[in-house]
Chains A and B, each alone.
Chain A
Amino acid sequence: MPTLKELTSYEDRLAGGHRLCAGCGASIAVRQVLLAAGDNPVVAACATGCLEVSTTIYPYTSWKIPFIHNAFENAAATISGVAAAFTGLKRAGKVDPDKKVNFVAFGGDGGTYDIGLQALSGALERGHDMVYVCYDNGAYMNTGIQRSSATPKGAWATTTEVGPVHQGKQHHRKDLTSIIAAHGIPYVGQASVSHWRDLTTKAEKAFAVKGPAFLNILSPCPRGWRSEPDQTVEVARLAVKTGFWPLFEVEGGIWHRTVAVRELLPIEEFLKTQGRFSHLLKPENAELLAEVRADVNAYWEYVSFMCR
C-alpha cells in the first residue's frame, strides 16, 4: 500500500479543469479510486450524471484514459461489453494473454441504486472482471436534487419537499451495499471520501480480485446537501463517526469492519452540517428525528452483526 506522499506523486487520470462544483465529493472519489488502479491501463465507463457531463464537454475531456459514456442506467452493461471485447481478443489470441487491464464504471446513486440496478446486477452475476464504483451523494444532483432510493429518510429534496404535511423523504434509504454483497461477488466495499487510506485500500483490492468488485463511496454534494464546499471531507467524516455510513468490506463473503468507531457521535452532529436536514432539528419534528436516529442505529447494529 503506497503512502499518501507516494499517491500524490502519481499522475492524475482525471485532469483538473473539469466543471464539477467546488467541494464536489465525486471527483475526490474518482481520483482516489484511479490512483489505486496501479500501473495497469484503465478503461472507464460513466453513467449519465454530474461526473459525466462535467468532465466531457465536447471537444474537451478530463479523462486521460479511454473513457465511454453511454446512457444513464447502463454503465455496468457498457463496461461489461468493453471487458468482454478484451476477453474475446485474448481468447482469439489477438492480445497478449498476460496483459492486464482494469475496467471501471462510475455511476451516481441515481444511476446505481435506482435506474441502473438491473444492469449492475446482471453484469455482476456474469462475472466480468470489472470494478463498479457508486459515488453516492444521495439524490439526483445533476438534474437538481431530486430524491433517489439512496436519499436518507427525512432529507429534503426537490421531489421530497418540506411542508406542513410531509417533512422531507418519508422512506428510508435502500441498503445497496448489502444487496450487492448478496450477489456473492469477490469484493464489495463501503467507503467514504473522508477516509482516503481506507478508500484507496479498498479500491486496490477491488482492482486486484479476479471478477467483479463493487465500491459504494459516500460523496457529499455541497449543492444538494446544502453544506459548505470547504467542509466536504469533514461532513463525510461525520457520516462515518455518527454511524450513518459504516465503513466495511465483504471479501469472499466475509464481512469486516474496516474503520472502527469507538464511540458513536449523536446523529445530530452529521445532520446539522447540512441544510437538507435543517427541519429535522426543529423541536416540532422531534418524533421524526427519533425515527431517523432509530433507522441509523438499526443499520449500524445490522452492519455490526454482519461484521461480528
Chain B
Amino acid sequence: MVTQKTVATTGNLFVAEAIRQALPDVIPVYPITPQTTVVEEIAKFAANGRIDAEYVAVESEHSAMSAAIGASAAGVRVVTATASQGLALMWEELYIASGMRLPIVMFNANRALSAPINIHCDHSDIMGARDTGWLILFAETAQEAYDNTLVSFRIAEHPDVLLPVMTTADGFITTHTVDRADTLDDETARAFVGKYKPTHALLDFDNPVSHGAFAGLGGPYFEFKQQQRRAIDGSLGIIKEIIAEYSAISGRPFDVVEGWGMEDADVAIVVIGSTAGNVRHVARRLRAQGIKAGVLKIRVFRPFPTAGIRDALKGAKAVAVLDRSDSPGAEGGPLYFEVKSALYDLDHRVPVVNYVYGLGGSDVRTELIERVYKDLGDIASGAIGPFDMTYLGCR
C-alpha cells in the first residue's frame, strides 16, 4: 500500500527529500545559490543520522564532480547538486562523468551565468551542459522536481543506460517558492529506486580494473563515443518505461513531452521549466475566448524527444519556442534550433518563431505570453510572416 504525504515546502527541500529516500552512498557537494538549501538539508540529514551516505563537503564544484566520479567509479550510488557558475566550473568533469559511463545523479538549480553577476533563474547554465552526454530533465513545479529526482536514479543506473542524469528546477521560482507536493513513503520510494548493482567497481579487488585509460594516438576514442551516443539515444524508451512504472506507483502520470490543448491547437508555445505554468494559464484563458491555443512542455531535454515534439506540433499553424537562454551570434536560442530541426522532416512547413525571455530572472508576466500568442495568431492568419528571434520583455 503506497502512502503519500502531502507537504508544503520549497522545491529544494522536496529534492533533498527525494535524495534522502534514494539512499545514496556518497554525496560530495558544494553550496551555491540557489541550490544551497539542498546542501543545508543534506547536512541536517547527516548530522541527525537520517542518511548513511558519506556527506563530503568539498572545496569547489570542480572537486564535487571529481569526487563524485571517484566515488561512482568505486561502485556506489552518488548524488550531488549545483547551479550556475558551479555547473560551469564542473564543465570538463561533466564530459568525464558521461564518458566514463558513471550513473551519477545531479540536481541543478537553473540560474543565470555571469557577467554581470546575477543569482536568478535562466537556463544559460544548463544549456551550456546540453552536449556533455548527460541526460537532462526539467521540472515545472516542486512536485515535478521531486518526481524527476527519484526517477533519475533508476534511469542513470539502468544497465543499458549507465549515464549521468541532471535533474533540474528553475532557481528561486521553483527551488525557493513554497509549493504543495505529494511524497512517497520511504519504503515505496526505496523499493522503486532499488539497489545499485555496479559493474567494474574500483573496490572490487578480485577484479582490478583501470578507469580513465588513454584512447588517443589512433586508439578507439571515436568508437567509445559511438557507444555513448547509442546509449543516450536508446535511453528514451527506457526513460518512458521507468516513468510509466513510477506513474503507476505515484498516481501522477507524466511523459517526456507533455501537451496541453495540443490535439487541435492552431497556435502553440514550446516551453521548458517553470514558465510552462504561466503559458498554460494564458492558453486556458485564450481557449475560453475561442482561440485554439496549445502548450508543449519538454520535460526530458536529453535525450531530445524529437518524434514526440514533431507529432505534437505537426498540426499547428504557428509555433513559438521560448528560450530562457541565448546562443549569441546564432539564429536564436538552443531550444529553438532543436524544435525547428525536429519539424524540418514534415511534409509541410510549420512556421516557427523564437523568443528569448526571462534572462537573469527577468519577470515573465502573462501579458508577455499573451503577446506571443497574438503574434502567433497573426502568423497563422497570414497577417504577418515569421520574424527573427525576439527578446521578450527586455526593457
Contacts and interface: CB of A to CB of B under 8 A. Distances in A.
Interface in A31-88: 41, 43, 45, 52-53, 56-59, 61, 63-71, 73-74, 77-88
A125 interface: yes
Contacts, number: 158
Residue from B28, B76, B204 whose CB has the most chain A CB atoms within 10 Å:
B76
Interface in B313-356: none
B56 interface: yes
B368 to A, nearest CB: 42
A77 B58 contact: yes
B228 to A, nearest CB: 15
B101 to A, nearest CB: 13
Contacts of B28: 80-81, 84
B25 A63 contact: no
A121 interface: yes
B70 A85 contact: yes
Given A85-B76, A122-B63, A92 B25 contact: yes
Given A58-B214, A74-B93, A122-B60, A82 B70 contact: yes
B311 interface: no
B164 to A, nearest CB: 14
B74 interface: yes
Given A70-B96, A71-B96, A82 B202 contact: yes
Interface in A204-262: none
Contacts of A61: 210, 213
B69 interface: yes
Interface in A74-123: 74, 77-89, 91-92, 95, 101, 118-119, 121-123
Given A58-B214, A71-B96, A122-B63, A65 B71 contact: no
Given A89-B25, A89-B76, A119-B63, A84 B210 contact: no
B215 A58 contact: yes
A72 to B, nearest CB: 9
Interface of B: 25-26, 28, 52-54, 56-60, 62-63, 66-76, 78, 92-93, 96, 202-205, 208-215, 217, 219-220
Given A61-B210, A95-B203, 14 more contacts: A57-B213, A67-B209, A68-B212, A69-B212, A78-B70, A79-B70, A80-B28, A81-B68, A82-B202, A84-B26, A85-B78, A88-B76, A118-B60, A126-B56
